[in-house]
Amino acid sequence: MYGPNQNQTSITAQPTAGRAPHSLPSLYALRERQEKIAMLTCYDASMATLMDEAGVDILLIGDSLGMVLQGHSSTLPVTIEDVAYHTACVARGNKTAWVLADMPWGSYHESPAQAYANAAKLMAAGAHMVKIEGGAWVAPTIEFLTQRGVPVCAHIGLTPQYVHLLGGYRLQGKNEGDAQRLQAEALTLQQAGANMLLFELIPAPLAASITAQLHIPTIGIGAGPDCSGQVLVIQDILGIFPGKKARFVKNYLAGRDSIQAAVRAYVDEVKSGVYPAPEHSFGVVSKG
């Protein structure tokens, strides 16, 4: 439906009336035929219905909700109950999109068994997959969950739950050593059973190279155009999150008269590769 040779009569993405519900195979098929995957954060039922109808492939109940809904200055105060509540709201409004829920701070760090008990709460609330921030050290947890039927999206690069260790929301993988570590971690997480990989704030060439090495779909935010898909925070694409804008943010409501039109324009620009442009991405990995 979004192939490069279609005869489009309008510049907006086509609504997905009749789209079959997404599944892991249907998402893998998007990567296989090089159709970009469009993901947005979503925290409530009305937005879930709107995004599903606008053709968003994956709805992310991100722990960014701590910042954009709750007004905290980081994602650390978010609880598993908070994410489960918003996941249930999204699941009620959604028909066909894939529902991905974040494992918040402290919900998977103690042990694989703790992670499983908390992932079970999100799956019971309506999630199809959970997302876990962290490098090689989360591999045993990912193995434990996926062996027990919980699909997992791994999240590397800038991992906002580790902001105090990382010293800010900064570009990761900037030098060759860090880039090589991220490349190795991506392979380790895929081997552990991760079904999807999200990179946040890494140089575009590094995201391209890791994506080429993997068989699972990759989703980028501030990671350049050569990922299998893209994600942004809904408040950012509507221009309603106060404060400094990250480089990857693009306002899709500007010049449009509805949230529907903005979300469709985002889907359309991800599918066509217009977003992200070079100004939304970071450049080459430096020596040293």
Ligand X SMILES: CC(C)C(=O)C(=O)O
Residues flagged as binding site for 3-methyl-2-oxobutanoate = 63-64, 102, 131
Q: Has 200 been annotated as catalytic? A: yes
Strand pairing category for 196-200 and 218-221: parallel
Binding mask 112-151 for ligand X (x = CB under 6 A): ----------------------------------------
Site size toward ligand MHF (CB under 6 A) is 17
Binding mask 178-207 for ligand X (x = CB under 6 A): --------------------x-x-------
Binding mask 228-247 for ligand X (x = CB under 6 A): ---x-x--------------
Contact 35, 22 (CB under 8 A): no
Q: How many residues are listed for the chain in this entry?
A: 288
Binding residue for ligand X, selected from 14, 16, 41, 141, defined by CB under 6 A: 41
Binding residue for ligand MHF, selected from 30, 47, 68, 91, defined by CB under 6 A: 68
Site size toward ligand X (CB under 6 A) is 11
Q: SS3 for the chain, per residue?
A: CCCCCCCCCCCCCCCCCCCCCCCHHHHHHHHHCCCCEEEEECCCHHHHHHHHHCCCCEEEECCCHHHHCCCCCCCCCCCHHHHHHHHHHHHHHCCCCEEEEECCCCCCCCCHHHHHHHHHHHHHHCCCEEEEECCHHHHHHHHHHHHCCCCEEEEEECCHHHHHHHCCCCCCCCEHHHHHHHHHHHHHHHHCCCCEEEEECCCHHHHHHHHHHCCCCEEEECCCCCCCEEEECHHHHCCCCCCCCCCCCCCCCCCCCCHHHHHHHHHHHHHHCCCCCHHHCCCCCECC
Which of ligand MHF, ligand X, none sits in contact with 231, Cβ below 5 to 8 A by type? ligand X
Question: Across the strands, what pairs with 221?
Answer: 200
Binding residue for ligand X, selected from 14, 16, 64, 211, defined by CB under 6 A: 64
**Which of 146, 162, 152, 238 has its CA nearest to residue 200?**
162
CB of 170 to ligand MHF, least distance (A): 4
Q: Identify the active-site residue in 35, 53, 200, 269.
A: 200
Which of ligand MHF, ligand X, none sits in contact with 14, Cβ below 5 to 8 A by type? none
Q: Residue 238 is encoded by which pair of tokens?
A: 């509507």
Q: Residue 98 is encoded by which pair of tokens?
A: 């894939």
Stretch that binds ligand X, among 14-22, 61-69, 88-96, 165-173 (CB under 6 A): 61-69
Stretch that binds ligand X, among 62-70, 121-129, 145-153, 279-287 (CB under 6 A): 62-70
Applying CB under 6 A, does 82 fall inside the site for ligand X? no
Question: Could you say which residues in the range 188-247 bind ligand MHF, by CB under 6 A?
Answer: 201, 222, 233, 235-236, 241, 244, 246-247
Binding residue for ligand MHF, selected from 14, 64, 87, 159, defined by CB under 6 A: 64
Positions annotated as catalytic residues are: 200
| Residues that bind ligand X in the complex, under the rule CB under 6 A | 41, 60, 62-64, 102, 198, 200, 221, 231, 233
| Residues that bind ligand MHF in the complex, under the rule CB under 6 A | 64, 67-68, 75, 160, 169-171, 201, 222, 233, 235-236, 241, 244, 246-247
